[in-house]
């Protein structure tokens, strides 16, 4: 029995320390299936999202889901601390007589209590180490608890900085692509008077944003649970709309934007595939076609009306479908896992942008602008 307790205690301590190192310090992606933090997020996210869907109204669900990301951090820290305290408690309890208690009997509960006071460096003194081995463990656990909490606390500013950096471009996309963002609106608003340069510049900016998203979210996967400020915006919707736009530009347009669209598509797809791999979100074919043939015809008609010329080659639609198959199964799988809506290709013409709305309503001028934007591709 003492040997089993020793082995279990050492195993719990090493598992948590390695798990915390990979989560907080290690900058590379970790694809190993057996990870304590992965099981923690899988179980708690499943419970939280299921409870929200069961008890919250459809209007309030997104708001309650947004609490999970920030709330999961203290829960994870508490979970790690509880496992470490349990591991050291087993080491104090295993030899028997390692600690001196007022009751003169060192039960496992007393050892667990002593481990907790040592980990949080309380030093109450009602239970004290009784052997040299126990004294060494006290020093080790006290130092580990202090260092563990210091490292984890330093983890929070890095998360907030990465989240804020991600959200800047998502907010900028509001007036550039609509709310939610769609490929049609991106093309209309960036190709006024056939000015391909603005579209090229936008795709270049999103190539870099996709690279930054890849690096930050592989290092800190918890960021995928941090949701955007508005219900109709998300990192997944923004990335999907950019992939949609790139796929259409590559297959239907000519000129300087095509090469940049290829580069942005490659980077954005790389980000989405690697995130799906790290989150173990297997690709799934969408239940419904996001761009059926009739919607593709409608898309072309809108662009024709906006005097945007594109190639009418026979294989354009087939090439577009092939490109979509390279990323849609991944974004669809992630949308199901994260409870995030995917954007359509063609926007709802009755909706206006988030920047035109306030808590006090929408002015008549903004309503007029919301209607006129569908007749004037320049939007402003």
Any idea where the domains of the chain sit in the sequence?
Answer: 2-130, 162-372
Residue 255 contacts residue 277 (beta carbons within 8 Å)? no
What's residue 71's pLDDT?
92
Lowest mean pLDDT among 90-94, 203-207, 330-334, 361-365: 361-365
Q: How confident is the model at residue 380 (pLDDT cuts 50, 70, 90)?
A: very low
Q: Which residue has the higher pLDDT, 334 or 218?
A: 334
What's residue 370's pLDDT?
46
pLDDT in tens, 82-130: 999 999 999 988 888 788 888 777 888 888 999 999 998 887 888 888 8
What is the average pLDDT across 254-262? 87
Nearest to 333 by CA among 240, 223, 210: 240
What's residue 139's pLDDT?
92
SS3 (DSSP) at 254: coil
What is the average pLDDT across 11-39? 82
As a whole-number percent, the residues of the chain with pLDDT over 90 amount to: 40
What's residue 379's pLDDT?
43
pLDDT in tens, 206-232: 999 999 999 999 888 889 999 988 888
Residue 243 has pLDDT above 90, yes or no: yes
Residue 240 has pLDDT above 80, yes or no: yes
Strands (E) located in the chain: 99-100, 128-129
Residue 250 has pLDDT above 50, yes or no: yes
Q: How crowded is residue 234: how many other Cβ atoms within 10 Å of its Cβ?
A: 25
Query: Which range has the top average pLDDT, 59-63, 68-72, 193-197, 310-314?
Result: 68-72
Contacts of 352 by beta carbon, 8 Å cutoff, 6+ apart: 179, 362, 366, 367, 369, 370, 373
Mean predicted lDDT score pLDDT of the chain: 85
Q: Per-residue DSSP letters for 268-280?
A: HHHHHHHHHHHTT
What's residue 374's pLDDT?
46
What's residue 230's pLDDT?
83
Residue 359 has pLDDT above 70, yes or no: no
pTM comes to: 0.84
């Amino acid at each position: 029995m003492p040997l089993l307790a020793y082995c279990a205690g050492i195993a719990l301590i090493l598992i948590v320390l390695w798990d915390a190192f990979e989560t907080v310090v290690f900058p590379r992606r970790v694809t190993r299936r057996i990870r304590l933090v992965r099981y923690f997020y899988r179980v708690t996210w499943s419970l939280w999202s299921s409870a929200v869907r069961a008890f919250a109204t459809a209007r309030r669900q997104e708001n309650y889901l947004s609490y999970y990301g920030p709330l999961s951090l203290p829960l994870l820290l508490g979970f790690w601390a509880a496992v470490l305290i349990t591991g050291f408690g087993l080491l104090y309890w295993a030899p028997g007589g390692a600690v001196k208690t007022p009751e003169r009997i060192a039960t496992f509960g007393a050892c667990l209590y002593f481990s907790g006071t040592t980990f949080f460096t309380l030093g109450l003194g009602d239970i004290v180490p009784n052997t040299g081995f126990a004294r060494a463990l006290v020093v080790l656990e006290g130092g580990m608890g202090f260092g563990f909490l210091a490292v984890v606390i330093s983890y929070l500013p890095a998360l907030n900085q990465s989240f804020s950096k991600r959200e800047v471009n998502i907010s900028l996309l509001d007036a550039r692509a609509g709310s939610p963002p769609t490929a049609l609106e991106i093309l209309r608003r960036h190709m006024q008077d056939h000015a391909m340069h603005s579209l090229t510049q936008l795709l270049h900016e999103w190539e870099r944003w996709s690279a930054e998203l890849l690096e930050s979210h592989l290092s800190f996967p918890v960021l995928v649970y941090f949701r955007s400020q508005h219900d109709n915006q998300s990192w997944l919707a923004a990335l999907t709309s950019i992939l949609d736009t790139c796929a259409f530009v590559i297959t239907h347009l000519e000129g300087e934007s095509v090469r940049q669209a290829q580069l942005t598509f490659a980077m954005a797809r790389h980000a989405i595939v690697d995130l799906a791999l790290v989150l173990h979100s297997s690709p799934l074919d969408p239940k419904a076609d996001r761009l059926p043939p009739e919607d593709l015809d409608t898309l072309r008609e809108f662009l024709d009306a906006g005097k945007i010329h594109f190639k009418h080659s026979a294989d354009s639609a087939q090439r577009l479908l092939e490109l979509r198959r390279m990323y849609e199964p991944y974004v669809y799988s992630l949308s199901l896992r994260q409870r995030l809506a995917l954007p359509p290709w063609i926007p709802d013409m009755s909706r206006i942008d988030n920047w035109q709305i306030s808590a006090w309503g929408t002015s008549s001028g903004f309503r007029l602008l919301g209607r006129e934007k569908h007749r004037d591709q320049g939007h402003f």
